């Protein structure tokens, strides 16, 4: 009996130690996981993510859909445009950080070179496909002329008619994206040189292939992991100068290639995009799963391009002032696009003011929204889709006769989807190097505590059973002894009329002992 008691004591002590140790290890293991993640994410040549930071291993696709105008003559007469959407025209995008320079204050500087290669297997046609669109160079000059002397306006209009510049032109995919020689731009550049226009060519992505968008300086996360990849400055400045308020000019967040780990879903992650000349943010929408990995999805909120009236923080993006805010869902970027009347929106004017919608536009959240799917622990982006539409602010002008009969509108030219997903090899590497170790470290304390809890419960059950068995045995011995005494008295006093003792008590007690021994 003493051995059984000692066994219970030892088992209880072991259970308590395992349970308490497991609970106590939870913060320790969380600290180990935190340090392990930090070590692998810091921008450093020895970190696991460094090679992917320099040049993403996963394939990035840049896809374009163009709006082919089918009724140009009617539009010039004041009718609304109708379009045939053509796409995608797909390019494989290769990124590589170059001129990497390590600074003494925990930052690193670099240029992000981008190269685009056409992929016919994922396209509906070739780069030579031609479609009808608006003459952006002509409207750019028209915008400049609004504040020029009348004689200059008259001469410019005369020249455009002489060279045969129309409001709508036919251009190929390659020309509109990567550039073509424009007669008006060439004429102006001949006389003004680079002071007015950088060249006589025009293209929406003319200087982006085999090029970069400037010098970025970002925090490595070495001193503060919460600042990982956050931009300290771009082209030597901590802000831009295009907008009308300090808040709008701030460069916030990262360049989009890496995010801070241990995501706080209540916060809004920021990133700076030189394409749209400003910082934007996302909001947590929902959990998603990709290749068995739990991710969190951040999307651009519906008010991201709202005007200053609808969303006061956006007032600084109204140019030249708050009195010139565009309808909701539009961003006027002419101030950073050399005066071209370029207006950005989400594809098909998703979330835009209904007044700007045009026939054949059909906004769809799933197809046209921007989202980022990232691991909430490491911040590593597994899947991303950046979607944006380029529009031209078209309005009648008495100084450009070809626009005199048009309705004011935001004329869509094309929309793009820049997307990326981790390939199978990268997913396998992530699971093996990151997910599995983190999961083991995360659940190990709970397993230890669970084992300790089970030992405690089993020990208690065995102790209770031993106690009950011992108590039943004592009751049975007492019953047997009492029955024997009653039998003797019965024989002595059977004739005096006293009731006979209840002999069923011992019988029931034996039955209970028998059934309890079977449990």
Write out pLDDT tens, residues 209-258: 999 999 999 999 999 999 999 999 999 999 999 999 999 999 999 988 88
Residue 4, exposed/middle/buried by CB under 10 A (0-12, 13-18, 19+)? exposed
Write out pLDDT tens, residues 65-101: 999 999 999 999 999 999 999 999 999 999 999 999 9
Length, in residues, of the chain: 519
Strand-strand pairing, 270-273 and 278-281: antiparallel
- Locate 86 and state its tokens: 């053509």
Percentage, residues of the chain above pLDDT 70 = 74
Provide the pLDDT confidence category of residue 277 given band limits of 50, 70 and 90.
very high
pLDDT value, residue 437:
67
Do the Cβ atoms of 415 and 65 come closer than 8 Å? yes
The total of other beta-carbon atoms located within 10 Å of residue 462's CB is 14
Q: What is the 3-state secondary structure (H, E, C) of 222-266?
A: CCCHHHCCEEEEECCECECCCCCCHHHHECCCECCCCCCCCCCCC
Q: What is the mean pLDDT of residues 126-150?
A: 83
Domain locations in the chain as residue ranges: 2-31+440-518, 58-422
pLDDT value, residue 353:
95
Output 30 or 465, whichever has higher pLDDT.
Answer: 465
Output 156 or 134, whichever has higher pLDDT.
Answer: 134
pLDDT at 151 over 60: no
Stated pTM of the model: 0.81
pLDDT at 489 over 70: no
Write out pLDDT tens, residues 466-476: 767 766 666 65
Mean pLDDT is highest, among 99-108, 255-264, 378-387, for: 99-108
Distance CA 258, CA 43 (A): 10
Q: What is the mean pLDDT of the chain?
A: 82
pLDDT value, residue 34:
66
| DSSP state at residue 397 | B
- Ramachandran region of residue 351, left (φ > 0), alpha (ψ -120 to 50) or beta? left
pLDDT at 516 over 70: no
Write out pLDDT tens, residues 348-369: 999 999 999 999 999 999 999 9
Provide the pLDDT confidence category of residue 164 given band limits of 50, 70 and 90.
low
Write out pLDDT tens, residues 297-348: 999 999 999 988 889 999 999 988 888 899 999 999 998 987 889 999 999 9
| Residues contacting 445, CB < 8 A, separation 6+ | 22, 23, 25, 26, 28, 29
Do the Cβ atoms of 52 and 398 come closer than 8 Å? no
Closest CA to 385 of 291, 298, 306: 298
Task: Tell me the DSSP string of 76-111.
Answer: HTTPPP-EEEEEEEEEEEEEEEEEEEE-TTSEEEEE
- Locate 245 and state its tokens: 């308020």
Provide the pLDDT confidence category of residue 378 given band limits of 50, 70 and 90.
confident
Q: Which residues pair with residue 114 across a beta bridge?
A: 95, 211
Percentage, residues of the chain above pLDDT 90 = 48
Lowest-pLDDT choice from 159-168, 195-204, 409-418: 159-168
pLDDT value, residue 19:
54
């Amino acid at each position: 009996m003493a051995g059984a008691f000692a066994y219970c004591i030892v088992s209880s002590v072991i259970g308590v130690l395992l349970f308490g140790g497991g609970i106590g290890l939870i913060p320790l293991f969380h600290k180990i996981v935190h340090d392990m993640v930090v070590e692998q994410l810091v921008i450093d040549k020895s970190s696991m993510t460094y090679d992917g930071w320099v040049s993403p291993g996963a394939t990035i696709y840049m896809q374009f859909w163009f709006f082919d105008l089918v009724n140009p003559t009617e539009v010039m007469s004041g009718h609304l445009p109708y379009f045939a959407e053509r796409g995608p025209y797909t390019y494989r995008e290769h990124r590589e950080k170059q001129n990497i320079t390590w600074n003494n204050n925990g930052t690193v500087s670099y240029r992000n070179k981008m190269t685009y290669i056409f992929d016919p297997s994922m396209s509906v046609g070739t780069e030579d496909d031609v479609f009808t669109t608006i003459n952006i160079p002509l409207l750019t000059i028209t915008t400049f002329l609004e504040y020029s002397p009348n004689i200059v306006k008259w001469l410019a209009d005369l020249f455009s008619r002489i060279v045969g510049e129309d409001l709508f032109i036919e251009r190929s995919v390659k020309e509109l994206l990567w550039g073509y020689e424009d007669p008006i731009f060439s004429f102006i550049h001949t006389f003004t040189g680079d002071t007015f226009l950088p060249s006589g060519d025009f293209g929406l992505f003319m200087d982006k292939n085999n090029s970069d968008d400037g010098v970025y300086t970002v925090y490595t996360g070495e001193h503060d992991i919460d600042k990982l990849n956050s931009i300290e400055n771009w082209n030597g400045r901590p802000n831009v100068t295009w907008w009308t308020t300090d808040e709008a000019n701030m460069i916030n967040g990262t360049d989009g290639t890496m995010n801070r780990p241990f995501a706080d879903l209540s916060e809004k992650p920021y990133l700076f995009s030189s394409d749209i000349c400003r910082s934007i943010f996302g909001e947590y929408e929902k959990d998603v799963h990709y290749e068995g990995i739990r991710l969190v999805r951040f999307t651009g909120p519906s008010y991201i391009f709202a005007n200053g009236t609808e969303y006061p923080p956006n007032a600084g993006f109204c140019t030249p002032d708050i009195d010139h805010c565009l309808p909701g869902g539009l961003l006027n970027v002419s101030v950073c696009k050399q005066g071209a009347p370029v207006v950005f929106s989400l594809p098909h004017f998703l979330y835009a003011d209904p007044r700007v919608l045009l026939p054949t536009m059909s906004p769809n959240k799933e197809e046209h929204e921007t989202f980022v799917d990232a691991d909430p622990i490491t911040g590593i982006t597994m899947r991303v889709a950046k979607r944006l539409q380029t529009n031209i602010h078209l309005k009648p002008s008495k100084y450009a006769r070809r626009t005199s009969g048009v309705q004011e509108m935001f004329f869509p030219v094309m929309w793009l989807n820049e997307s990326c997903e981790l390939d199978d090899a990268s997913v396998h590497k992530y699971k093996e190097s990151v997910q599995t170790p983190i999961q083991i470290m995360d659940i190990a304390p709970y397993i230890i505590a669970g084992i300790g809890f089970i030992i405690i419960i089993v020990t208690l059950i065995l102790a209770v059973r031993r106690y009950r068995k011992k108590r039943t045995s004592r009751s049975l011995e007492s019953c047997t002894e009492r029955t024997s005494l009653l039998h003797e008295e019965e024989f002595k006093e059977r004739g005096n009329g006293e009731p006979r003792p209840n002999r069923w008590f011992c019988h029931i007690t034996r039955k209970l002992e028998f059934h309890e021994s079977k449990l």
